[in-house]
Structure 1
Amino acid sequence: MTREQRRALLGDAAIEHIHEGVDEAVRDFTNAPSEDKVGLIRRLRPILAPAAARLQSRKAAEAPAAAASKAA
């Protein structure tokens, strides 16, 4: 999936939110001691979950059309 397709699917605001959250988490992860890294990884889940849910629902909605076009 291209960057343009992701932006069309999720919207610019969602993409920006994801990038900001990931950037912050990566900075924290890089500077954290090993024992803190598990908690930082857990912080990424709520940031990425809404985008992943939208992507899955979009794929599910497009699946019947894709199957029909392959069959034709």
Structure 2
Amino acid sequence: MGFALVNIIPGRYVLTAIEDGWELQWAEEGVLKPYLRKWQTMEIASNEVKKVTLKIDGAGTAARAGSNKF
């Protein structure tokens, strides 16, 4: 499983992949806390191409690997 993001604005980003996370209440304090330990930070420069592989986090535990290109 994978996807590509294009035309990313240069800057510093925090990445995570959460399995079946569409129902999470993102704006509520503490909801994302169980997932914090697997977040990755990265810096994107102008016209830079990067490939990142994240482990999908299902309910706070790694479920399977996903591959994403930036």
TM-score bracket for the superposition, by shorter chain length:
under 0.3
TM-score for both structures, normalised by structure 2: 0.27
Largest Rg, 1 or 2: 1
TM-score for both structures, normalised by structure 1: 0.26
Structure (1 or 2) with the greater helix fraction: 1
Structure (1 or 2) with the greater strand fraction: 2
